[in-house]
């Protein structure tokens, strides 16, 4: 069954940051652009169906950015709270030559450092939950808001591993999956080997871990098996920001769409289900990096996604 026919039923929710980014790459820079883990994730997932967004912004959040979010037809923004008197999350990132690593220039939490966003009552029946990057204590509080969840997956990053380690470990005991970068897996586990690090994370609670290795692809370590996928070989890399979040959005979007179509009784967190979804995550991320912010995704159609997915499938076929 084509994924598109099951759009409305997928009940995928994402919580995270919606923010204002300043990005510096070796060749160009962009100031005050739309960013945030939740914004990137939701835009990517919207190619597979409806996605509910839970995040808070301040009164200073530009109208133009709100319009950009709403231009993605699948995004349900009823859970985007505008907090009176609050300041929108903002982040600055600088890429080093080669664009494989970056430094945070600043992180101003604003409303993200205050109380968690309000979750609309209509979202409580969400079955697929993605906890995009934000303080792990807030991610944990969010999880409690979705009692009907059948699959919950979290993201995290170096800042939280260092500053909120106990909260993160408490969260890991409660989620089905974790998505994180290779260096973050190493930081969390103090193990340099990617498989050993991922196995160590499984001991902390989740059933599966997806470790992202940038241009070197990703590795899935699941209680039922291991899979590896290369990245799409991109020629145009303008800004890698959001690659991780949109990878997760493509992955969860396709899991939610396929899982909803299959109905109850099928495990959306099975090894095969997650493995299949990695390809969609990889393809969506490869589009994201072709422009700053959500620029490339705004131009994208589902047909473009499927075309590149088919191309990527044939590239990765062995034998
Ligand atoms: P990615 O490149 O996929 O890792 O994600 C980049 C996005 O994450 C940017 O748009 C930032 O606004 C957002 N971001 C950066 N730092 C944080 C943080 N500490 N918590 C949540 N989101 C963040």
Residue nearest atom 9 of ligand 1, based on CA coordinates: 36
With the most atoms of ligand 1 within 8 angstroms of its CB, the residue from 14, 16, 17 to mutate is 17
Cβ atoms 300, 287 nearer than 8 A: yes
Does some domain include residue 2?
no
* pLDDT band at 5; cut points 50, 70, 90: very low
What mean pLDDT value characterizes the chain? 94
- Find the mean pLDDT for residues 235-243: 95
> Does 7 reside within a domain?
no
* Kind and range of the H or E run holding 56: strand 51-58
Q: Is residue 243 part of a domain?
A: yes
Q: Within a domain: residue 35?
A: yes
Residue-wise pLDDT for 89-100, tens only, equals 999 999 999 898
For residue 246, the ligand 1 atom closest to its alpha carbon is 3
Residue 1, in any domain of the structure: no
Q: What is the DSSP annotation of 105-122?
A: EEEE-GGGGSSPPPPPGG
Q: Model's pTM, two decimal places?
A: 0.95
Query: Within 13 Å, how many C-alpha atoms sit on residue 253's CB side?
Result: 34
Mean pLDDT over residues 233-240, rounded? 94
Number of structural domains, the chain?
1
User: The domain spanning residue 187 has which CATH number?
Assistant: 3.40.1190.20
Handedness of CA 287, 222, 6, 56 (dihedral sign): negative
Query: Is residue 31 in some structural domain?
Result: yes
The range of the structural domain enclosing residue 294 comes to 12-316
Q: Is residue 37 part of a domain?
A: yes
- Cα distance between residue 182 and residue 158, in whole Å: 11
Let me know how long the chain is.
Answer: 319
Q: Is residue 146 part of a domain?
A: yes
Write out the E strands in 196-267: 208-212, 218-222, 225-229
Give the span between the Cα atoms of 165 and 42, in whole angstroms: 26
Q: Whose CA is nearest to atom 11 of ligand 1?
A: 36
- The protein residue whose alpha carbon is closest to atom 15 in ligand 1 is 91
Ligand 1 in reach of 192 Cβ (< 6 A): no
What are the distances in angstroms from CA 216 to CA 59, 82, 133, 182, 233?
Answer: 40, 38, 22, 10, 9
- The predicted model gives 49-72 an average pLDDT of 97
| Cβ of 293 less than 6 Å from ligand 1 | no
């Amino acid at each position: 069954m084509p994924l598109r026919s099951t759009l409305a039923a997928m009940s995928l929710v994402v919580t995270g940051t919606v923010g204002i980014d300043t990005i510096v790459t070796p060749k160009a820079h962009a100031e005050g652009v739309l960013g945030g883990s939740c914004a990137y994730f939701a835009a990517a997932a919207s190619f597979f169906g409806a996605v509910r967004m839970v995040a808070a912004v301040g009164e200073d959040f530009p109208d133009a950015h709100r319009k950009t979010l709403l231009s993605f037809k699948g995004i349900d923004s009823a859970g985007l709270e505008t907090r009176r008197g609050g300041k929108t999350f903002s982040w600055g990132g600088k890429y080093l030559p080669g664009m494989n690593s970056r430094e945070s220039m600043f992180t101003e939490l604003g409303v993200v450092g205050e109380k968690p966003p309000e979750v609309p009552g209509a979202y409580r029946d969400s079955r697929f939950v993605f906890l995009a990057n934000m303080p792990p204590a807030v991610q944990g509080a969010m999880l409690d808001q979705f009692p009907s969840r059948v699959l919950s997956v979290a993201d995290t990053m170096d800042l939280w591993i260092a500053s909120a380690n106990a909260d993160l470990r408490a969260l890991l005991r409660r989620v089905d999956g974790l998505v994180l970068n290779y260096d973050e897996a190493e930081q969390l586990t103090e193990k340099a080997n990617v498989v050993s690090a991922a196995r160590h994370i499984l001991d902390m609670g989740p059933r599966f871990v997806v470790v992202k290795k940038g241009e070197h692809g990703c590795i899935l370590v699941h209680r039922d098996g291991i899979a590896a996928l290369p990245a799409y070989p991109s020629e145009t890399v303008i800004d890698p920001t959001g690659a991780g979040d949109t990878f997760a959005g493509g992955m969860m979007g396709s899991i939610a769409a396929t899982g909803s179509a299959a109905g109850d009784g099928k495990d959306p967190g099975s090894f095969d289900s997650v493995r299949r979804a990695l390809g969609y995550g990889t393809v969506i991320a490869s589009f994201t990096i072709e422009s700053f912010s959500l620029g490339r995704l705004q131009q994208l159609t589902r047909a473009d996604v499927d075309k590149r997915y088919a191309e990527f499938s044939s590239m990765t076929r062995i034998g």
